[in-house]
Amino acid sequence: MTRKLYWEEPYSKEFAAKVVSVERQVVVLDKTLFYPRGGGVACDTGTLNTSRVQETTKTDDKILHALESPASLKAGEKVTGKVDWERRHRLMKMHTAGHLLSSLFYSRANCRITGNQIDVDRSRMDFNLESFDRTQIEGYVAEANELIRKDAPVKTYFLGREEALRLPDMVKLAQASPPAEAQLRIVEIEGVDRQADGGLHVSHLKEIGQIQLLKLENKGKTNRRLYYDLVGIGITRSPDLT
């Protein structure tokens, strides 16, 4: 079992770990800050010593770091890992923005999120909404931006599954995809939203900047697709973020 340092200290950029196994380009460590791809969220990249980590994925109990070239690392060896912080931080902001939007869609229009792709340069969200009303959707984005301006802390903690599913606002999650774990990791935007979620988030809404609605698509009967980006003071876009 790889220890998920990224849950314990999502704002850390560098860590020391021990190599558990190496198979060709794939390295498993005893612990890691690298967030693996999954659930529609892009993964961390970075370095292990001097080797580039191209992709991070997961199995049931391990986090797999795929290097650019065959690893010179050996089991038992100590390594220093560094995540590409600008990328990671942007993914954290994108992900929290996604929760904020989905909570507004749910509370205002009772619509569910049916798919999402949280990525660095733009993110995508699919949801079911009877009408395809641009003004209505723009209104939810404006409301999300107002909540960001007002700011609120974002907290993560664990709850027993039974206890979590007794909370009225957790029903949406239970209906959508009841996770198998006995303990659920909860991500809570204070006063706004609570979801069971394994993702990484910013600790305050204001870090997001502002959500920019890029595009809306009509994907059939009740399926709508929204693309968004983030803009704001202090957010720099580097050309390699593609």
Which residues in this chain contact Zn ion in the complex, by CB under 5 A?
A: 197, 199
User: 180 is written with which tokens?
Assistant: 């198998």
Query: Bridge-partner residues for 23, per DSSP?
Result: 26
Angle 73-75-77 from CA coordinates, rounded to 5°: 65
CB closer to Zn ion out of 64 and 101: 101
CB closer to Zn ion out of 55 and 197: 197
Distance CA 23, CA 34 (A): 18
> What is the nearest approach in angstroms of Zn ion to the Cβ of residue 95?
5
The one-letter amino acid at 14: E
> What is the nearest approach in angstroms of Zn ion to the Cβ of residue 98?
6
Q: Which helix (H) or strand (E) holds 172?
A: helix 171-176
CB closer to Zn ion out of 41 and 67: 41
Question: What's CA 208's distance to the chain center, in Å?
Answer: 13
> What is the nearest approach in angstroms of Zn ion to the Cβ of residue 32?
19
| Number of other CB atoms surrounding residue 182 within 10 Å | 9
Q: What Cα–Cα distance (Å) separates residue 197 from each residue in 96, 185, 214, 224, 227? A: 11, 6, 25, 23, 21
User: 37 is written with which tokens?
Assistant: 């791809």
> What is the nearest approach in angstroms of Zn ion to the Cβ of residue 216?
21
> What is the nearest approach in angstroms of Zn ion to the Cβ of residue 131?
26
Instruction: Compute and round to an integer the Cα radius of gyration of the chain.
Output: 19
CB closer to Zn ion out of 141 and 189: 189
> What is the nearest approach in angstroms of Zn ion to the Cβ of residue 49?
31
Distance CA 164, CA 46 (A): 35
CB closer to Zn ion out of 64 and 97: 97
